[in-house]
Structure 1
Amino acid sequence: MIKRTLIPLLMLSCSPALAAELTSMETRWLTAGLSVINYAKHDLKLPVDITVQPQARANDVPVAVGYQDGRCKLVLSLRGNPQAEDILGSVPEARRPLMIEAMFAHEIAHCWRYAQGAWHQTPSGFAQGGGAQPAQSLQQTRREEGFADLVALAWTQQRHPEHYSDVAAWMRQVRAPAAAAVASVESHGTMAWLQLARTGDVFNSRLPLFEQAGSLWRKGLANGE
């Protein structure tokens, strides 16, 4: 049975029939990500719609975000998606909500960058990269993934500091080249940033969430990422 707190959120983009027919996995994932969704919608005032795919397509990741007509589209693709199980395969059942929450925070970071008009932009003083267009595009994507990973870790340090090491270790495992389960190793190779955040102490809790991540992100850029 779907939790009452999820219903208003799903009504924003899903039909009542679909909301009533959520699978147990979809309910678990949405419940785990609810605090992030509430933060995005109510604290950040981000325009977020939630869509639940009736069937995952080949290569769909479990949760992703896009930007269309000025709104972020948070898409869950869990049905028939082996990645939904595989990505959490090494995580004890009791701790899986923490990893799912981090994934939602990662996607909301993308939404924030879109809404800020900063997508694929770097701070002043950092080159976008040169050479052939495909190589430049990979670098831009990797930088966005690095920023979003750091936001997910800053969120974890802020909300669940006692579990930071577990989430950080899991993210490094997911991002390790041998375990890459999303898109391409090159475009999602964020280890240079994850290595900067092995402990939650690197985040300045006196700063807003995205500034905490941005400080470390710029350090990675300065290191040549």
Structure 2
Amino acid sequence: MPAACYSLIIMIKRALFLLLLSSAGLVSAAQLTDMETRWLTAGSAVLAYAKQELKLPVDITVQPQARANDVPLALGFQDGRCKLVLSMRGNPKAEDILAGVPADQQPLMIEAMIAHEIGHCWRYAQGVWHVLPAGFEERVQASPEQVEAQAQALRETRREEGFADLVALAWTQQRHPQQYGAVAAWMRQVRQPSPSVVAGSHSTLAWLQLAPTGAVFDRGQPLFEQAAGLWRQGLLQED
């Protein structure tokens, strides 16, 4: 990409970022660290889409001090609103997830992560959090009640993570089609469980494998419907 074009893109993103910060519920730019500013700038187009076009109830919360085991970026829900929480201050692992990603591609991966969180917010705002789509029934296991409750919670979380991952890929295909392969490969790498670890709540490869290229998304549909079609296919393959 020519340097002039890249500089223009950065200027546009910063303008969007400042516009977002002027909205109610967002922190002041003067209160942010360089890392927080860089992440929010990278995700500014997603956040603008969520707030201005979808009218999603999104606030940004910055933790003054990360706690042990805090992930750098997460989404919570409070009083009917989505809280995008940044836990980067004092977090030595804040950018470990970007290890090995070339510097010029890191904004793309951050943008995909924020699109993932907006996928969660959309599900919450629609009132379908942890709800299966029409036509699907929960399979009840013959196991002790406590064990089944834990297994059910794991399944519900994994399903939401799978949906949000597909939203991130649909967003990438819509906004950065030429970079889709790089983002999809990185997401598969991040979601690949360690050989020594049992697949957990974020093991979403069953869904990611359904989207090896951006061609699987129907751009004639709204963003979340693009993700929902593949998500239903993944539900059929659940263990």
- If the length of structure 2 is used for normalisation, what is the TM-score? 0.86
* 1:6 is the counterpart of 2:20: no
CA RMSD of superposed structures (Å)? 2.0
Q: Is the 8 A contact 1:65 1:111 kept in 2?
A: yes
* 1:198 is the counterpart of 2:212: yes
Aligned residue for 2:8? none
The residue type paired with residue 114 of structure 1 is: Y
Aligned residue for 1:58? 68
Q: Is the 8 A contact 2:72 2:95 kept in 1?
A: no
The residue type paired with residue 87 of structure 1 is: I
Q: Is the 8 A contact 1:99 1:167 kept in 2?
A: yes
1:93 Cα offset (Å): 0.3
* 1:207 is the counterpart of 2:221: yes
Q: 1:180 to 1:190 in 2, by over 3 A?
A: farther
| Residue 128 (structure 1) aligned to one of 120, 130, 138 | 138
Cα distance in structure 2, aligned partners of 1:104 and 1:215: 21
Residue aligned with 1:75, SS: strand
Cα distance in structure 2, aligned partners of 1:44 and 1:180: 41
Q: Is the 8 A contact 1:139 1:187 kept in 2?
A: yes
1:68 Cα offset (Å): 1.2
Aligned residue for 1:157? 173
Aligned residue for 1:101? 111
Bigger CA radius of gyration: 2
Q: Is the 8 A contact 2:20 2:44 kept in 1?
A: no
Unaligned runs of 5+ in 1: none
Q: Is the 8 A contact 1:175 1:188 kept in 2?
A: yes
The residue type paired with residue 166 of structure 2 is: L
Cα distance in structure 2, aligned partners of 1:164 and 1:6: 23
1:22 Cα offset (Å): 1.3
Residue aligned with 2:93, SS: helix
The residue type paired with residue 72 of structure 1 is: C
Cα distance in structure 1, aligned partners of 2:222 and 2:97: 29
**CA offsets 1:27-49 (integer angstroms, 9 cap, x no match):** 10000000000000011010111
Cα distance in structure 2, aligned partners of 1:188 and 1:35: 25
Cα distance in structure 1, aligned partners of 2:113 and 2:129: 19
| Residue 83 (structure 1) aligned to one of 70, 93, 104 | 93
Aligned residue for 2:230? 216
- If the length of structure 1 is used for normalisation, what is the TM-score? 0.91
Aligned residue for 1:173? 189
